[in-house]
Amino acid sequence: MDHSHIFIVGANGQLGTALRAQYPTARSADIAELDITSRESVENFDWSGITTILNAAAYTNVDGAETPEGRVAAWKVNAIAVANLVRIAKKYNITLVHISSDYVFDGTKELHTEDEPFSPLSVYGASKAAGDLAVAILPNYYLLRTTWVIGEGKNFVRTMLDLAKRGISPSVVSDQVGRLTFTSELARAIDHLLTSDAPFGTYNVTNDGPAASWAEITRQIFSYAGYTDSNVTDTTTAEYFAGKEGIAPRPLGSIMSLEKLQATGFESKNWQDELKAYIAKEQQS
Ligand SMILES: NC(=O)c1ccc[n+]([C@@H]2O[C@H](COP(=O)([O-])OP(=O)(O)OC[C@H]3O[C@@H](n4cnc5c(N)ncnc54)[C@H](OP(=O)(O)O)[C@@H]3O)[C@@H](O)[C@H]2O)c1
C-alpha cells in the first residue's frame, strides 16, 4: 500500500524506526534532513502531498533536561518544534500525530486518564506538557500518551539484558509502577486511529497486562532470558538516586487507563507476551 502521503519526523529514534517499518513507503526525515526546531526550515520544507505528519522526534534524556543546556534543548524539541509543526499542520490542513508521556503528570494518581490536569515534576515533563498544549489547538490531531517505550535503540530491557549477560546482579526500583510499551504497539495504535475514523483527540497508549514495578519487570527479563531472577533486588527511587546530582524527579505511578483507546476497537497486547518475543529476538541477533 502506498503511504507517501505520510511524513515521519524523528525517523531514526526508537518509535521512528518502528514507524518506518510500519509504513515503508512513507516519507521521513531525522534531524540531519529536517531540524524541526528551526521554524524557518519547517516553513521552507516541501509539504506538498503530505496529509499526515507522525512526530516521533523528541528530546528524551530526562536527566539531561535538568542541566542548563539540556533544559534549553528539551524545550526546543519538545515544545518549540511541536509549535512549528502545529503551524504547518494548520496551514495545510494536515493531521498531526504526536507522542507524549506520563511525565506530564506527577504520578500520584493510581490510574491516569486522558483528562487529568498537567502536574509535571521535571523539565522534560514540563516541556512535553507544553508540546501537548500546542497540539491541542489543532482541529485534526491524535495525541498519544505513552510510557516506558521499548524498541530499536538504547532502552531499559537492553540495559538489563546486558547486565544479566555480564553476571551483574542489579538493584532496581520497586516503587515506580507502570507497563512497558513496545514501539510496534505504538505504531499499530497509530495506524488503528488513522484508519478507523476514531475521533481526534488525546489517547493513552501502552501495552496491556498487569502493572508492574521496574524491579518486577527486571525479574521477568532475567527469567525470560534464562537467568536467575533472584539476582534482582528491590530498592526505592529515593535510595537509588541518593547522593546523585542532577537527577530528574520521576512520577511513581505511571499506569495509564486504556479504556478510551479500547472503546475505539483497539485491543492492546499484553506486555509480557511482547517482552518474551522481544528477548527471544534479541538473543538470536
Ligand atoms: N522512551 C521512553 O521511555 C518514552 C516514554 C514516554 C514517552 N515517550 C515519548 O515517545 C516518543 C518517542 O520516543 P523514543 O523513545 O522513540 O525517542 P528517541 O529514541 O530518543 O528518538 C527521538 C528522535 O528524535 C530525534 N530528534 C531530536 N531532536 C530533533 C530535531 N530537532 N529535529 C528532528 N529530529 C530530532 C532524535 O535524533 P538524535 O538521536 O539525533 O537526537 C531521535 O532520532 C517521544 O515523544 C517521547 O517523548 C518516550
Cα separation, 259 vs 168, whole angstroms? 39
Rounded to two decimals, what is the model's pTM?
Answer: 0.97
- Ligand 1 proximity of 79 Cβ (cutoff 6 Å): no
- Whether residue 171 is contained in a domain is answered as no
CA of 78 to the centre of ligand 1 (A): 9
DSSP, res 76: I
The pLDDT value recorded for residue 285 is 80
- Whether residue 98 is contained in a domain is answered as yes
Contacts of 100 (CB under 8 A, 6+ apart): 128, 129, 131, 132, 143, 144, 145, 146, 202
Which grid cell sits at 29? 526525515
- Whether residue 160 is contained in a domain is answered as no
- Please report, for the domain that includes residue 125, its CATH number: 3.40.50.720
- Whether residue 77 is contained in a domain is answered as yes
- Whether residue 248 is contained in a domain is answered as no
Cα separation, 141 vs 150, whole angstroms? 24
Which grid cell sits at 19? 514507524
Bridge partners of residue 52, in order along the sequence: 6, 95
Cα separation, 144 vs 123, whole angstroms? 20
- Whether residue 106 is contained in a domain is answered as yes
- Whether residue 149 is contained in a domain is answered as yes
CA of 223 to the centre of ligand 1 (A): 29
Q: Count how many domains the chain has.
A: 1
- Ligand 1 proximity of 16 Cβ (cutoff 6 Å): yes
| Range of the structural domain that residue 145 is part of | 6-154+180-208+255-268
The pLDDT value recorded for residue 231 is 85
Instruction: Supply the residues annotated as catalytic.
Output: 124
Cα separation, 100 vs 78, whole angstroms? 9
Cα separation, 161 vs 142, whole angstroms? 34
How far is Cα of residue 235 from the mean position of the Cα atoms in its chain?
A: 25
Q: Whose CA is nearest to atom 15 of ligand 1?
A: 14
The pLDDT value recorded for residue 278 is 97
CA of 175 to the centre of ligand 1 (A): 25
Residue 20 carries which side chain, given as an amino acid letter? R
Which grid cell sits at 131? 508540546
Average confidence (pLDDT) per 10 residues, the chain, 285 residues: 96 97 97 96 97 98 97 98 98 98 98 98 98 98 98 96 95 97 98 96 98 98 94 94 93 98 98 98 90
- Whether residue 163 is contained in a domain is answered as no
